[in-house]
Amino acid sequence: MASGPARGAPQRVRALTFAVMAALALAIGYSAYAHLARSAESRSIEAGLIESGDLPTIYFNLKNTGSEVRNYTYVVTSDSTEGLIDRGLILNLPPGETFHYTLILTRGERATPVRLRIYLGEEATGRPIYDQAWLIRGGRSRGIALGPLEQ
């Protein structure tokens, strides 16, 4: 009679081992999925400054990588006397769609700092998901990208 429970013990160990392995596989799969989702979100915005003669141009391409319609707001400002350059409307972007934006500026005599902020939802609801600043030099000089700002 003592041999009966002993025979069932290896089967329980195998079942427990299988359950642990399955749980680990699911955890690793979920972790990889979450990482890819974050990576895709970070690649959903491309922005830059193009210098062309006296008409520097700021652009951005915003892609909704989510599975549902998302609302975005963008704001372009300057620290010079102009202040607000463009406050975008709330964009309703369907999944997989891309919004393309271009703003042509006139080069001034002095250097002009310009900043682009993109928000998920409305501007007042929180921190930007994208925050980039550029310095457009005065005269006929080339602009310098200052790089992404710390968030």
Q: How many CB atoms lie within 10 A of CB 117?
A: 18
Q: What is the pLDDT of residues 64-117, one digit of tens each?
A: 998 999 999 999 988 766 677 887 778 899 999 999 999 998 888 888 899 999
Interatomic CA distance for residues 132 and 74, integer angstroms: 11
Task: Identify the band that residue 10 occupies on the pLDDT scale cut at 50, 70 and 90.
Answer: confident
Residues 36 and 86 in one domain: no
The answer on 144 and 113 residing in a single domain is: yes
Residue 141 sits at φ, ψ, to 5 deg, of -80, 165
Q: Identify which has the larger pLDDT, 122 or 120.
A: 120
The structural domain count of the chain equals 2
Residues 20 and 54 in one domain: no
Structural domain of 83: 44-148
Answer yes or no: do 21 and 91 share one domain: no
Tell me: do 100 and 68 sit in the same domain. yes
CA separation, residue 130 to residues 62, 116, 126, 147 (Å): 10, 8, 12, 11
93 and 31 housed in the same domain: no
Rounded to an integer, what distance in angstroms lies between the CA atom of residue 15 and that of residue 18? Answer: 5
pLDDT for 143 = 47
37 and 87 within one domain: no
What are the structure tokens assigned to 71, written together? 């609302």
Tell me: do 52 and 38 sit in the same domain. Answer: no
User: Which bin fits 129, alpha (ψ -120 to 50), beta or left (φ > 0)?
Assistant: alpha
30 plus 48 within the same structural domain: no
Q: What is the CATH number of the domain that holds 109?
A: 2.60.40.10
144, two tokens = 């310098």
Q: pLDDT for 13-46, tens place per residue?
A: 888 888 888 877 777 777 777 666 555 555 689 9
Cβ neighbourhood burial of 136 (10 Å; 0-12, 13-18, 19+): buried
